[in-house]
Amino acid sequence: MKIIISNFSNDPIYEQISSQIKGMIIKGELGEGELLPSIRGLAKDLQVSVITTKRAYEELEKEGFIETVQGKGSFVAMQNKELMKERKLKIIEDKLAEIVDESRLLGLTYREVEKILKILFEEG
């Protein structure tokens, strides 16, 4: 599991942690039911306060991504498949919106962009 935080970013640290874990769950890198590090262990590894990791986990639990069992730890919650798909699509949509904006600025047509997209899909 990889979590990297930046002390210099303006994003609060707990947000950096929760969004990275969120991303991993959405991408499937963290499977359903998988055990997450303890808040204290994570705090020690990241060298941040326990309060910060606690808050990150609390945010994730509020949004339904993880579940905390008293005495056992925090697990990736059973994900609603529809919701997951929606979330994944949203991420792609946002990225595509960026590409569309850039293309317009550069004066590229839809056809030209489609060509690039095809090549990239075939490559991977």
Partner 1 sequence: MLEVNNLTKKFEKFTLENISFKLEPGYIMGFIGPNGAGKTTTIKLIMNLLKKDSGEIKVFGMDHVKDEKEIKKRIGFVYEEAYYYETLTLKQMKDIIAPFYREWDDKQFKKYIVDFGLDMDTRIKKLSKGMKTKFSLALALSHKADLIIMDEPTSGLDPVFRREILDILYNIIQDEKRSILFSTHITTDLEKIADYITFINKGKIVFSKSIDEVFDSYKVVKGGKDVLDWKIRKEFIGLRITNVGFEGLTEDSEKLKRILGDQIIIERPSLEDIMFYTIRG
Interface contacts to partner 1, rule CB under 8 A: 7, 9-10, 12, 14, 40-41, 43-44, 47-52, 55
Least Å distance between CB 20 and partner 1? 17
Least Å distance between CB 41 and partner 1? 7
* Cα–Cα distance for residue pair 77/80, rounded to 1 Å: 9
Give 4 or 120: the residue with its C-beta nearer to partner 1.
4
Alpha-carbon dihedral sign for residues 71, 59, 63, 97: negative
How many residues are given for the chain?
124
Give 26 or 46: the residue with its C-beta nearer to partner 1.
46
Alpha-carbon dihedral sign for residues 11, 17, 19, 24: positive
Least Å distance between CB 44 and partner 1? 5
